[in-house]
Copies of this chain bind each other. A is one copy, B any other.
Amino acid sequence: MARAATAIENRQPEAESLLRELFPRTGRALVIGVTGSPGAGKSTLAGQLIKVFREQGRTVGVVAVDPTSPYSGGAILGDRIRMQAHHDDPGVFIRSMATRGWLGGLARATTDLVLLLDAAGRDVVIVETVGVGQDEVDVARLAGVTVVVLVPGMGDDVQAIKAGLMEIADVFVINKADHAGADRLDRELHQLPAREDGTAPPVLKTVASEGTGVAELAEAIRNVAPQSGRLERLWELRLREMLRERLLDRYPPGQFAEAARQVAARQTDPYTVVEEWLRT
């Protein structure tokens, strides 16, 4: 599994034929996306969820994505440390991933890793990713159940974001619920306008550092009713991304740098450049 994961991350040619072969075996795992702002305690929460699922006898795979890492790489360490409690448990497979740099490919690798873990028979696959909204890896695009982790005491911009989250969250978690402001956040979440179908995600409180509320969260996750058409919508986005990426692969990398130099110097404009590329 580790070797296959590395092949996927490094875009080795054998990865695609492997995934193609594995694909019919996928679609069985419960894929849980855990997302939220930096500092919300996602890794700690994921670690506690692993514990609960393991106690239930389920095998777990984790893909931890850190979009800050194109610049550093250091961020991965935190995840590893927080999850190393499960290091010696063969029932837990954890893969921390940096991004593949500026030019994308993270969404592709993440989706493929989830498929790999799914095909390998993991009962539960947890995808942990920072941020919500238009991130390159939008966990809501990957997961069967999306858990949005919030913490008390954030600024007022959050109000607007919470409204947006309503559309992607299957479950809200108020983590660090022992901090001041947890009840206020709870009220705010319950006051959000309902979703289009009239439902609202459940709101759970946890103190992940102590494990409080995590069993209830695992239960709430299992009780999320599948949304009709969701898988189809996810695959539509994914197919579009795959096609886009592979189309671009057909152009020689060097042409971009040369054209960029000319555009930056205003010797030409980007619209003319791209139009010419499309013609050839």
With contact pairs A68-B133, A133-B70, A232-B264 given, residues A77 and B160 touching in the complex (Cβ less than 8 Å): yes
| B156 engages A39 (CB within 8 Å) | yes
* Inter-subunit contact A161/B271 (CB<8 Å): no
A231 cross-chain contacts in B, Cβ below 8 A: 264
Chain A residue total in the interface (Cβ 8 A): 86
Subset of 25 A-B contacts with CB under 8 Å? A19-B269, A23-B269, A24-B266, A26-B266, A38-B155, A39-B155, A71-B163, A71-B165, A72-B160, A72-B163, A75-B160, A75-B164, A78-B159, A99-B134, A103-B237, A131-B135, A134-B136, A136-B136, A234-B264, A235-B261, A235-B270, A236-B256, A242-B274, A243-B248, A244-B244
Quick check: B131 and A161 within 8 Å, CB to CB? no
Q: Is the CB of A135 within 8 A of B137?
A: no
Whether the Cβ atoms of A20 and B156 lie closer than 8 Å is no
Q: Which residues from 245 to 280 on chain A have a C-beta closer than 8 Å to any C-beta of chain B? A: 245-248, 251, 256-257, 259-261, 263-264, 266, 269-274, 277-278
- Closest Cβ neighbor of A99 among chain B residues: B134
For the complex, give the distance between the alpha carbons of A157 and B274 in Å.
40
Contact of A156 among B78, B151, B157, B261 (CB under 8 A): B78
Q: Taking the nearest CB of chain B, how far is it from the CB of A218, in angstroms?
A: 22
> Are A27 and B243 in contact (CB-based, < 8 A)?
no
Q: How far is the CA of A72 from the CA of B103 in the complex (A)?
A: 28
Question: How far is B166's CA from A106's CA once the two chains are assembled, in angstroms?
Answer: 21
Smallest Cβ-Cβ distance to A259: which chain B residue? B239
State how many angstroms separate the Cβ of A178 from the closest Cβ of chain B.
14
Is the pair B72, A164 in contact by a Cβ cutoff of 8 Å? Answer: yes
A194 sits at the interface (CB 8 A): no
Known: A99-B134, A160-B68. A271 touches B16 (CB 8 A): yes
Q: Which of A2-60 contact B (CB under 8 A)?
A: 16, 19-20, 23-24, 26-27, 37-43
- Is A168 close to B, CB under 8 A? yes
Q: Once the chains are docked, how many angstroms separate the CA of A182 from the CA of B273?
A: 47
CA distance A259 to B242 in the complex (A): 13
Question: CB of A212 within 8 A of chain B?
Answer: no
A244 to B278, CA, bound (A): 10
Known: A130-B133, A133-B68. A78 touches B39 (CB 8 A): no
Known A131-B135, A236-B257; contact A74-B164, beta-carbon cutoff 8 A: yes
Chain B min CB distance to A89 (Å): 24
Task: Report yes or no: A39 in contact with B163, Cβ–Cβ below 8 A.
Answer: no
